[in-house]
Amino acid sequence: MKIGIVGCAGRMGRMLIQEIMATSGAELSGGTEPGGAAIGQDLGLLAGTIPAAVVVTTDTKALFAASDAVIDFTTPVVTKMNAELAAASGKALIIGTTGLGDDARNAIAAAAKRAVIIQSPNMSVGANVLLALTEKLAATLGPEYDIDILEMHHRHKVDAPSGTAIGLGEAAAKGRNAKLKNVARMVRDGQVGARPTGEIGFATLRGGDVVGDHTVIFAANGERIEVTHKASSREVFARGAVRAAMWSEGRAAGLYSMRDVLGLG
């Protein structure tokens, strides 16, 4: 399985290089960057491992041509362009980018008609178990249970709430047969009044080097249920993304998630 990486010189990209090179049945087909000192460097040496015999380039179109699947943890603008390249080439695209807007989502949906697209707000196995559990709990517990989602990430993260937090909110809303946009409370500040029934609240923390902590709280009179996932290394995201790329082989074109990859429905 030939797997390429867009944004290969960043922290996540280097972790992906290591994971692909360590995965049986996977071959590192290349990596791209928009520019900078990494161009021309051997990908394996860039990631601190053995030579990979492929170098960093700026040609993403050529990367798709050389790959069976491409992994993208970049920005919404770049991901939109990569979705279009996936559609044109018919190659699988694994998307870990967060903070996607309508333009990127529309491009992804269009690409999924012609290629395998696997998009998830969090690629780790544990976080996707939390997503499935959140939906199940929301469906099982009554409306007297208030739902809040607390997340914390490192100080450099640019989007808030995190993509995983939004995904957890969507899972909780789905469990209650609701649309998140109709029940979400992203910020509480000032005289907000009593909490309405069915509201799903969010709280965001930023600081230090936290990789990613997420807690979903179900609170009712007399009891509280809290389910938590904490990532201590980006390795879990890389491992999940490579697993998704391997899973994509032979699949029909369509939009999938990590829950599909893991058989969680």
Which positions are annotated as active-site residues?
153, 157
Rounded Cα distance between 194 and 192, Å, is 7
- b/e for 93-111, b at 16 or more Cβ within 10 A? bbbbbbbbeeebbebbeeb
Token pair, residue 144, equals 């007297």
In this structure, are residues 123 and 96 in contact, taking their beta carbons and an 8 Å threshold? yes
Number of CB atoms found within 10 A of residue 39's CB: 14
Name residue 149's amino acid: I
Beta strand pairing call for 116-119 and 2-6:
unpaired
In this structure, are residues 91 and 231 in contact, taking their beta carbons and an 8 Å threshold? no
Rounded Cα distance between 159 and 47, Å, is 26
Token pair, residue 75, equals 């920005």
Largest CA distance in the chain: 61
If we measure between CA atoms, which residue out of 158, 122, 137, 139 comes closest to residue 231?
A: 122
Backbone angles phi, psi at 88, to 5 degrees: -70, -35
Rounded Cα distance between 79 and 71, Å, is 10
If we measure between CA atoms, which residue out of 157, 137, 172 comes closest to residue 204?
A: 157
